[in-house]
Structure 1
């Protein structure tokens, strides 16, 4: 058997620190420690050429269980639907109206942070309700 490996999720984006701090709020993550040998991300950035400053940021699950999230600046903007997206599990174990109420409450919290609600998918005979959202740079994610 192969061993389970840790992984990180990488976001291409325009403003790495801003997007990272948004996802810290969504998930309860913390900004990652700066690179080894630096007291802060600002101190690290000052060692880079001006065009590379602010080009990356990361956040981590304080419990150590979830993946590290890494945000890197890229020159091009987002133009198509994500092929991979995060599902934020806020309704786990809930069904019906109780689940929908929890999803709507989290949707309202995230909209206050700058996220946008795309559509509410109501429960049917096969699936429970979920809400399709976009983060502050337009990346799709779900409240599930």
Structure 2
């Protein structure tokens, strides 16, 4: 049997640090320490060639349980629906009005951070309610 591999989730974006800091707030992640020899990430960034400055940023789960998120600048803008998205699990185990209240509360918190509410997908015979949202650069994710 193959062993489980670690993985990171990579986002293509226009402003890596802005998007990374948004996801830090959403998930309770942190910015890892800068490379050895640098007091801050800004100091490290200034040491890069001009064309590489601001080109990448990352955040990590401080417990080590979740995957590293890596954000890389790309020249093209977002033009289509994501083929992959994150589900932010805020309603696990909740049903009905209690689940909706949890989704709405988290939606309000994230909208204050710059997210956009797209639509509520109401419960049906198979699935509980979830909410489709977009991050600060329009990447879709769900509150589940």
Q: Distance in 1 between matches of 2:36 and 2:55?
A: 17
Q: Distance in 2 between matches of 1:125 and 1:37?
A: 56
Give a deviation string over 1:13-51, Cα, whole Å, max 9, x none.
011111100000000000122234433212221221112
> Secondary structure in 1 aligned to 2:59?
strand
**TM-score, normalization by structure 1:** 0.96
**Structure 2 residue aligned with 1:82:** 82
Alignment of 1:95-134 (within 5 A): 95-134=95-134
**Structure 2 residue aligned with 1:31:** 31
> Secondary structure in 1 aligned to 2:81?
coil
CA 6–37 in structure 1, closer or farther in 2 if over 3 Å, else same: farther
1:46 aligns with 2:46: yes
**TM-score, normalization by structure 2:** 0.96
**Structure 1 residue aligned with 2:138:** 138
User: Which is further off, 79-88 or 39-48?
Assistant: 39-48
> Secondary structure in 2 aligned to 1:9?
strand
Q: Distance in 2 between matches of 1:6 and 1:13?
A: 23
**Structure 2 stretches lacking a partner, 5+ long:** none
1:6 aligns with 2:10: no
1:60 aligns with 2:60: yes
Give a deviation string over 1:118-142, Cα, whole Å, max 9, x none.
1001101111000000000000000
Q: CA RMSD in A?
A: 0.9
